[in-house]
Structure 1
Amino acid sequence: MVSQPAKIALLGAGLIGGEHAALLFRNPKTELVAIVDPAEAAKSVADQYGARHYCDALTMLEQIRPDGVIIALPNALHAAAVIACVEHGIPCLVEKPVADTLEAAMLLVAAADRTGVPVLVGHHRRHSPDIAKARQLVAEGALGRLVAVNAMWMADKPGHYFNTAWRREPGGGPLLINLIHDVDCLRFICGDIEEVMALTSNTVRGFEVEDSASISARFTSGALGTFLMSDAAVSPYNWDTAAGQALYFPHQPENAYFLSGTQAALAVPSMDLWMHETQNGDWQHPLVRRHVTLDGSRAYDNQLAHFIDIIAGTATPLISARDGMMTLATTLTIARSARERRPVRPQELIDDAMNS
């Protein structure tokens, strides 16, 4: 028996929403049945893919009742959209961040827990073979005990990118748009981050939000890490271009993450593993390099395949709403640390949100 394609609706037809529409259209296991976006341009996107166009999500959910929904709306609209979907019993994939505030994320998580409807958070890098393999290598002890981690995300966004007002305002800066992916990757690979100390700067553009940040972090394992981020710097040192997995960026082979342990070091996404020839080697002995091969699969294709399995009830979300909330809390911890010029723990923000 041949199963029918999953009927999926898309909320938001902007930059990433348009990419989701193309992915859904190309996949034989999905049918793009509706696009919800009040913008006039969204109707053209819907017509292009033979989908119905709506301006209101609730009307669409009640009239079509899709098998699943992909949410690609501005950050501040994520929570309400997810809650509407799960209350209608419809699984959803929500683009990161799971919400724009921790309080909104908690409401979203509560709704998902109450209804039992699965929510997949769109941290697509978890579905990339390099990130999955790095997690496996660390978990298997291939690096020994993890000691130090370095992550970079630096790129030069064009001026017209900021014509969209929410990208210039609190809740829409590069911490929540870009660095949150790196935070999630390092949480996934190395375990939770328990404390951060951060500096941010907005001196290049002068917007309310930051354009650059420098962060020191302590993982619960005891490993230490550093993050360097800027969306105003010419650089190949970001996962989006280095991994060749991004939908709308050129591939610039480089590295974005460096993981070092007591037995070996790993560069990602090149997947070069460095170690001594013998276990008794030390800094006065040469290192050998071994390249770790990957399966060549594509992160967004893998994410969509995973979402299809979630809709079918054969898989649970690789990153749940609660897990996505922890990534959000850690990223907001960075913002608070920079604002208050002190070390901050994610648990502090969670406690504050629960008591607010």
Structure 2
Amino acid sequence: MNIAIIGCGTMGMTHAHNLGKMPGVKVSGVADLIQKRADQAAEACGAVPYKDWELMLEQVKPDTVVVCLPTYLHKSLVLKLAERGLHIICEKPAALTLEDAKEMKAACSKHGVRLFIGHVVRFFPNYRNAFDQVRSGKIGEAKMAYFKRHGSYPIGVSFWYRDRSKSGGVIMDLMIHDIDFACWLFGDVESVYASVTKPSLSMEYAQVTLKFSSGAIANLTGFWGYAGPFTTQFEISGKEGIIRFDSNQVQSLDLKVATGGDDQKVAVQVPSSPTLHDPYYDEVKHFIECIREGSEPIVSAADACRAVEIALACEHSAQTGQPVRMGGITS
């Protein structure tokens, strides 16, 4: 498959490294307005570097384009690529409004091309392992979960993150990972309640409670400005056990299941599935296989639209200080 990359920042470089070693894939061109970044990405995957993405498409004629631009630029580029008949793998979130995300999805459907949004957490071994454990009934019916995602404030590449009209803030850009995973785990969200505080230009903290139609509850925290290492944690509780994960503590799940006797209550370490490549490699490989085989992806464009809708509902709740039922303010 002939692939091109537009945007050679952190995620563009990640995809360049992975696609450059993926069997059956040729990265023919990479484009970035900053020539140095385009050159570095090109070297990583053996492609030709460009500053002009339109010239690149004319010359290398890819089948699929990986879009790694800032969020506020996703819609306009995706619509143009769809009109050209190109399949699209776009970084999350899909867009900053539900209307834009739906328009992107509709345009790709109209032009007969595939649209994949990179909600990569579904491909992280520990998260996928936890999902499988819940689905298998290991902890009984799961009714409560807690997700945490803390990282440094994204600076250095540009300051667009600080403009909420371009990034959407910590909920839309960071917490949306856990919003998507929680929806994958529990299904439809009935209502949300959220609070956001931004004590400085380089710090933003959010807390969200999602209530699901199934009766399950998920509490999420997202933090930009954390001084320590990037941290993810989750805890999923069921009627018969609990699953815990802390990226700073272990690289496998801690699964505790209730048994008949106290002497049998032991922690069972469930190791993460062994992987040769990182989750971003597995994610894009999966999307490429879906294009080749015409199969449905683990995360659909509809899932990505839903994540945007929920993130926007959370923002509205934070602004008003009131719970928001889904179907409320989502623009």
2:169 is equivalent to residue 169 of structure 1: no
The aligned amino acid for 1:324 is A
In structure 2, what is the equivalent of residue 321 of structure 1?
301
Cα distance, 1:39–1:236 mapped onto 2, change above 3 Å: closer
* Letter paired with 2:20: F
Compute the TM-score of the two structures, normalised by the length of structure 2. 0.89
CA RMSD of aligned residues (A): 2.3
Question: Offset at 1:27?
Answer: 2.0
| Aligned residue type for 1:63 | Q
Which consecutive unaligned segments of at least 5 residues does structure 2 have?
247-251
The CA deviation at 1:143 is: 1.9
Aligned to 1:51: 47
Paired residues for 1:122-271 under 5 Å: 122-157=118-153, 161=155, 164-170=158-164, 171-172=166-167, 173-203=169-199, 205-206=200-201, 211-235=204-228, 238-239=231-232, 256-268=233-245, 270-271=252-253
What's the offset of the Cα at 1:303?
1.0
C-alpha contact (below 8 Å) 2:35/2:50 kept by paired residues: no
- Contact kept in structure 2, 1:46 and 1:52, CA below 8 Å: no
Amino acid at match of 1:307: F
Distance (whole Å) between structure 1 residues aligned to residue 303 and residue 40 of structure 2? 32
Q: Which residue, out of 66, 73, 93, partners 2:69?
A: 73
**Which structure: greater strand fraction?**
2
Q: Which amino acid aligns with 1:232?
A: G
Distance between the aligned counterparts of 1:156 and 1:110, measured in 2?
35
- Residue in 2 aligned with 1:342? 322
Partner of 1:331: 311
Distance in 1 (CA, whole Å) between partners of 2:172 and 2:156 is 15
Is this contact kept in 2: 1:337–1:343, CA < 8 A? yes
The alignment-based identity, stated in percent, is 28
Residue 138 of structure 2 contacts residue 257 of structure 2 at CA under 8 Å; is this kept in 1?
Answer: no
Distance in structure 2 (CA, Å) of the matches to 1:305 and 1:47: 19
CA distance in 2, matches of 1:118, 1:54: 24
Measured in 2, the distance between the counterparts of 1:264 and 1:27 equals 39
Alpha-carbon distance between aligned partners in 1 of 2:66 and 2:134, rounded to the nearest angstrom: 31
Deviations 1:285-339 (A, max 9, x none): 9842112233212311211221221231353222122210111111121111101
Residue 151 of structure 1, CA deviation: 0.8
Match of 1:111 among 73, 89, 107: 107
2: CA distance, partners of 1:327 / 1:341: 21
**TM-score, normalised via structure 1 length:** 0.83
C-alpha contact (below 8 Å) 2:20/2:46 kept by paired residues: no
Q: Is 1:276–2:258 an aligned residue pair?
A: yes
* 1:135-164 CA distance string (max 9 Å, x none): 222223222122211111123337xx1561
Q: Which runs of 5+ in 1 are unaligned?
A: 1-5, 240-255
> After TM superposition, where is structure 1 displaced by more than 6 Å over at least 4 residues in a row?
none
Structure 1 residues 16 and 194: alpha-carbon distance in aligned structure 2, compared to 1, 3 A threshold: same
Q: Is residue 11 from structure 1 mapped to residue 26 from structure 2 by the alignment? A: no
Partners of 1:78 and 1:99 within 8 A in 2:
yes
User: What letter is aligned with 1:265?
Assistant: I
1:244 aligns to what? none
Q: Which residue of 2 aligns with 1:289?
A: 267
2:249 maps to which residue? none
